[in-house]
Structure 1
Amino acid sequence: MGAKIEPLPPFTPDLYQRAWASVPHPTLPLLATAHANSVTVFSLSTLSKHSALTGGHSRSVRTVTWQPGLKSHQLRLVTGSFDASAGLWSWNGDNNEVTSGERLEVDVTKPQEGEEEEEAKEDWEFNLVLEGHENEIKSVAFSPSGQFLATCSRDKTVWIWEDVGVEDDDDEWETLAVLNDHDADVKAVAWAPDVPGRTKGARGKYSADVLASASYDNTVRIWREEGEGEWVCVACLEGHNGTVWGLQFESCPRRGDKFPRLLTWSADGSIRIWSLKEEPEEEGEEADTGSGATAGSIFRSGLGGIPNTMRRSLREDWECTAVLPKVHTREIYSATWSAKTGMIASTGSDGTIALYAEVEADGDTEMANTAADAETKDSASPAWKVLTTVPVAHGPYEINHITWCKRFDSGAERKGEEEMLVTTGDDGVIRPWKVTTQ
């Protein structure tokens, strides 16, 4: 299989300043880009500016995430800033614009006729500040249900917050846990997606929600909730020889409902894939937690009434099952795993975009022959191959982020189904890319 990556017209307007990341909404044709001390929301229908979030932070916004699980007419964002705070924003514009998509088809780079510029900025309301970190926030991420928010910082900690509002529009949040096992800056956090297999490792042990964190200390840690608000590190993944810049769980369901694999990328120029070694079911153990089981009910059914001394170990065994072929000559800042095709794209300091595909082995797309200790193998794993690369994708500028994104623009043959790549760089240009396979 081969592939081509071709540029599409860039999003307008150019931001003219370093942009850190662009994050698509899980269902709507919207893309939020963090830059300077603001966020610009673009329409994926028109590839133009939809709205802006300004005035909430005193320093640059480093990261942004959409809250899932809200009603169809609601939009909510959380921003993480160099000012050490996280901000909660809600859409304050016409709700019909969200559900009908009417305004998403309009370029609102400039105020509409009869509309003052200041009024155009008030579509987003800055509702709440989450404070506690001592240094800049590097990453923010919501759990699949939207109930939990994870933030991480240069202060070496990961904080977990819970949305305790009774109604969707209530802005009440509580701190559940402060995790401080890392020895250096925590660069990124990611939750396991809500796909088949996600609850499998939780059976009889702890909650189904799984959080991963990546750090400047070259490690990745896996966290689960052992009890009511008590989060514990169940695994420490070691193998990278440099800062782990980021991580993402696999969103494609795996054969046999296996637990999602984890993708990590690093300053050492490598991209690794990790897999949970799942224990065989014990006799008399139920095969599943049951549909509709909550994280709390899973915990109670597995541990309720059992003394601590009789609980099974909370440790999990994760192994590096693949190292992708080496392409990048400098630090890898970002990678993204397609939920639709399973392809992986990466980019970083060298300004190159690389696209990889998993090689089928004996009719199965799972790993064919890899090593837990990747240093004992050639770095070009036989189970993955490079499909294509795009050098100097943003000219001489570094690329800070890459993501898969559904296409809704006029050039898409199947709107909302086709995928494209979106890159965000130091040049302040948000670039979409068409990906075709051959």
Structure 2
Amino acid sequence: MVKVTSEFISIGCNRTAHAACWGHDGLVAFGADKLIALYYPLARNTFNKLEDVALVSGSADYTAKVWKKDNTGKWINSATMEGHTGALETIACMRAHSIETETDIIITGSSDGTIRVWERRVVDDGSALSYLPNSRVPILASGHTDKVITIYVYQSTTNEFKKVHTLQGHDNWVRDLAFATYTGQGNESVNNSFKKGDLMLASASQDKYIRLWKISPHVPAPTKQQQQEDNGLSTHIITVDSCQYSLMFEALLMGHDDWVFSVQWQKPYMATDASGERQFVQPMRLISASIDKSMMIWSPEPNTGVWVNEVRMGDIGGSTYLGFCGAMFSPNGKHIVSHGANGSFHLWKDNSEIEGENNWSPKVAISGHFKSVESLAWDPKSRYLLSTSLDQTTRLFAPWNRTVDGQNVSTWHEMGRPQIHGYDLKCLAFIHDWQFVSGADEKVLRVFDAPKSCVESLACLTGDESLRENIASRPVGANLPALGLSNKAVFEGDAGEEETDVSNGLGAHAYTSATPEALAEVMQHPPYEEHLLQYTLWPEVEKLYGHLYELTSVDVSRDSKYIASSCKAATAEHAIVRLFNASTWKEIKHSIDAHALTVTRCKFSHNNQWLLTVSRDRLWAISERREDEVEPYKLVAKNKAHARIIWDCSWSHNDKLFVTGSRDKTFKVWARPDQTIPNWVCVYTGKCDEAVTAVDFAPNAVDENGRILLYTTENGQQVDKWTLWHELDQRLCHFGVVRSLAWRAATQDRLLQLASAGEDHAVRIFNVEY
């Protein structure tokens, strides 16, 4: 019996505002490419479990979907709302008590310039949708690219939302809106400014400012007020169902230095008052996120009621790309989760015991690629995993083994980011345990070597002390020059160069480098995003030149002697496979000339005797190892194997078979009938419903009883009968093209682990028990 379970999923958040939401039960849902990912930042069951919770998502496919759990606990799509002709940009939802049937409403805003209102039952609460003070009349605020905020009020007689006013004041696009109802638990100065039931609206804009607006029941002034210009500061009166309400500008929050993408009020909570009654409390605290790389918490100052910045969190310098897209309070307000413009998450905890002290500290959060993941590779001893992506990063994943409350716990995390590049990364391969070579959409192969800090940190976090062998001569870390693409090694005793170069006109802000002392620090927990960007780079030790176009594939022989690589090619002249000596880093004079178009994959056999290449010209080719340093591999066979491009290939664990996968929706297994002749024939053709984009042989052959088998017949030929061993549950799989597969060397009996990389931005590790 085969059982496949998910061990680990790494995926980044979509780089847009409104892409994540933290529910009252402690679950964070966020958009990840075409998927909705679910994440518990804190321990499960930290907050009360809620029943009948639903998620509402909007997509670039012009639809909104409602998701809820079925009886088995699985999330299912319970409704799809169609009608928009553009991508959905924002969603608000609320229990609408004033609607006759007591249904709830969902409002969607789209890039087609329209807002649609939908009715449904039992939905979560929302952001830019609320009730007028002391009433059950829904009110909707909508922000626009024309710099104004439009206010709509529900009309029960016509069953529609009617535009009642526009709020002016922002000088650029309005990026986010959030409502909160004042519940009257503030101090004296706050109670002088707000009355219980007043509705607060916060708006964030690209003009760098946050504006607060107050909506309250209108009380006529005893004397006629002086007329003011309509400049966004005057009080505006609206009439709804014979009741009058005033809309007025309350406060301007200044502090961010760039676009403000997100504002959110702290969630209301249930509390017991002095009389013992349970009631909702809405804290007057607001969190904002900006692309200036900071988050701010705002609240009214106790003595004056003036809104001030309580605390500012984030990063100083140029290491977090374009800052933050959103920030959210936990249900109890003691934690904050934000997501950045590079798909990262940041988790902060307030350690203070007294309200208002704001003793915030960072905690370990999840991370992942934010573009297609193109290639994977386990290190030669299968202790950690590397992945490369079109997001221009190479990431290192490893287990964090520790003891929690007397229990052994092991969870996978991103432990390093060896390469942060300026080109989309396409391929990588290990040269030895702590050295790898990668290729990108450029002509140069780059070789990286692990620094001492990385090796020691991995040894500490994984508990594998054997990792510390032979590390004395390694640099402590690496820095990325402000105007370069090559990671520069940093050794103990190196002095910083910032002071010297500031005088050259670059300025101190141009440097994101770390000191040798900071780089040498051994991590006691998985790194935060700021550390991943700055302290976990690997030094670049060599560049390999020769290709004339963008690189597509690279592999290294198992004895670490030779590197084979290929690049994009439209002619046979450029479709050659270049070989490099991994000791001298020099190109071998004789390359392998076997294809007419782009070589998509190079694979050395485990015994180093063969080099297999597959191509867009639908051919596979095999070169044989020779005891000749001038021409170490010579072409001995090739075959037109498929009707369409061949995407991938792999050797079996014993090198007696290899497999090819193609766009023609087939994979073919090839064997060598006569071991004395370099000739391979197809022994099996498997047909699939879609193109085969990634293949990999397991590190050993197994059957259902767990026995290790060599699939051979009495005369030495491979068997030609293949059956499907197991098909993974669709919920475990990628939602898009699978770009790479990599089996981990067996670490336990009757258990294998398979890593996969996909176009859906995900890196996954599966446990295969048999």
TM-score scaled to structure 2, two decimals?
0.31
Specify which structure has the bigger relative contact order, considering alpha-carbon pairs within 8 angstroms and separated by 6 or more residues: 1
Name the SS for the 1:135 alignment partner. coil
Residue 86 of structure 2 corresponds to: 17
Q: CA deviation at 1:376?
A: 4.4
Offset from partner CA, 1:116-159 (integer Å, 9 cap, x none):
xxxx7x82221121110011100010124362110010100000
How far, CA to CA, are the matches of 2:167 and 2:79 in structure 1? Answer: 37
1:10 aligned partner, one-letter code: T
Change (3 A) 1:363 1:273: farther
Question: In the alignment, is residue 66 of structure 1 matched against residue 129 of structure 2?
Answer: yes
- Which residue, out of 151, 156, 181, partners 2:208? 156
Name the SS for the 1:316 alignment partner. coil
Q: Counterparts of 1:4-403 in structure 2 under 5 Å? A: 4-11=74-81, 13-26=82-95, 29-35=104-110, 36-45=112-121, 65-68=128-131, 70=133, 73-94=136-157, 123-145=160-182, 147-166=199-218, 169-195=243-269, 208-226=283-301, 227-239=303-315, 240-251=320-331, 253=332, 259-278=333-352, 280=353, 316-326=358-368, 328-329=370-371, 362=405, 373-376=528-531, 391=735
Q: CA deviation at 1:164?
A: 3.0
Change (3 A) 1:78 1:229: farther
Residue 297 of structure 1 corresponds to: none
Q: CA deviation at 1:31?
A: 0.6
Residue 538 of structure 2 corresponds to: none
Q: CA deviation at 1:328?
A: 3.6
Q: CA deviation at 1:73?
A: 4.0
Q: CA deviation at 1:327?
A: 5.3
Please tell me whether the aligned partners of residues 34 and 64 of structure 1 are also in contact (alpha carbons under 8 angstroms): no
Please tell me whether the aligned partners of residues 139 and 151 of structure 1 are also in contact (alpha carbons under 8 angstroms): yes
Q: Extract unaligned runs of 5+ from structure 2.
A: 7-72, 97-102, 183-197, 220-239, 274-281, 373-390, 392-402, 412-523, 535-730, 738-770
How far, CA to CA, are the matches of 2:217 and 2:179 in structure 1? Answer: 15
Change (3 A) 1:90 1:68: closer
Please tell me whether the aligned partners of residues 159 and 178 of structure 1 are also in contact (alpha carbons under 8 angstroms): yes
Please tell me whether the aligned partners of residues 276 and 316 of structure 1 are also in contact (alpha carbons under 8 angstroms): yes
Please tell me whether the aligned partners of residues 33 and 40 of structure 1 are also in contact (alpha carbons under 8 angstroms): yes
Name the SS for the 1:178 alignment partner. strand
Q: CA deviation at 1:7?
A: 3.8
How far, CA to CA, are the matches of 2:334 and 2:270 in structure 1? Answer: 8
Offset from partner CA, 1:144-191 (integer Å, 9 cap, x none):
436211001010000011123248853312222111210101001001
Q: CA deviation at 1:24?
A: 1.4
Residue 230 of structure 2 corresponds to: none
Name the SS for the 1:223 alignment partner. strand
Change (3 A) 1:263 1:88: same
Change (3 A) 1:174 1:18: same
Q: CA deviation at 1:390?
A: 6.2
Residue 486 of structure 2 corresponds to: none
Change (3 A) 1:361 1:237: same
Based on CA coordinates, which of the two structures has the bigger radius of gyration?
Answer: 2
Please tell me whether the aligned partners of residues 187 and 216 of structure 1 are also in contact (alpha carbons under 8 angstroms): yes
Offset from partner CA, 1:351-383 (integer Å, 9 cap, x none):
xxxxxxxxx96599xxx996795544799xxxx
Name the SS for the 2:244 alignment partner. coil
Change (3 A) 1:361 1:93: farther
Change (3 A) 1:363 1:136: farther
Please tell me whether the aligned partners of residues 144 and 193 of structure 1 are also in contact (alpha carbons under 8 angstroms): no
How far, CA to CA, are the matches of 1:223 and 1:22 in structure 2? Answer: 24
Q: CA deviation at 1:271?
A: 1.3
Name which of structure 1's ranges 146-155 and 64-73 shifts more when overlaid on structure 2: 64-73
How far, CA to CA, are the matches of 2:104 and 2:166 in structure 1? Answer: 27
Please tell me whether the aligned partners of residues 104 and 122 of structure 2 are also in contact (alpha carbons under 8 angstroms): no
TM-score scaled to structure 1, two decimals?
0.52
Please tell me whether the aligned partners of residues 32 and 64 of structure 1 are also in contact (alpha carbons under 8 angstroms): no
Q: CA deviation at 1:18?
A: 2.1
Offset from partner CA, 1:202-239 (integer Å, 9 cap, x none):
xxxxx941101111112111111105541111111114
Change (3 A) 1:123 1:390: farther
1:249 aligned partner, one-letter code: F
Please tell me whether the aligned partners of residues 214 and 247 of structure 1 are also in contact (alpha carbons under 8 angstroms): yes
1:43 aligned partner, one-letter code: E
Q: Extract unaligned runs of 5+ from structure 1.
A: 48-62, 95-119, 200-206, 254-258, 282-287, 289-313, 331-348, 350-359, 380-386, 394-438
Instruction: Report sequence identity in percent.
Output: 18
2:309 aligned partner, one-letter code: C
Please tell me whether the aligned partners of residues 289 and 325 of structure 2 are also in contact (alpha carbons under 8 angstroms): yes
How far, CA to CA, are the matches of 1:229 and 1:132 in structure 2? Answer: 22
How far, CA to CA, are the matches of 1:317 and 1:26 in structure 2? Answer: 35
Please tell me whether the aligned partners of residues 138 and 153 of structure 1 are also in contact (alpha carbons under 8 angstroms): yes
Offset from partner CA, 1:286-326 (integer Å, 9 cap, x none):
xx9xxxxxxxxxxxxxxxxxxxxxxxxx7733222231242
Change (3 A) 1:161 1:321: same
Change (3 A) 1:198 1:234: farther
Please tell me whether the aligned partners of residues 85 and 137 of structure 1 are also in contact (alpha carbons under 8 angstroms): yes
Aligned length: 268
Change (3 A) 1:392 1:32: farther
How far, CA to CA, are the matches of 2:272 and 2:263 in structure 1? Answer: 17
Name the SS for the 1:25 alignment partner. strand
Please tell me whether the aligned partners of residues 260 and 290 of structure 2 are also in contact (alpha carbons under 8 angstroms): yes
CA-atom RMSD in angstroms: 4.1
How far, CA to CA, are the matches of 1:261 and 1:388 in structure 2? Answer: 30
Change (3 A) 1:24 1:85: same
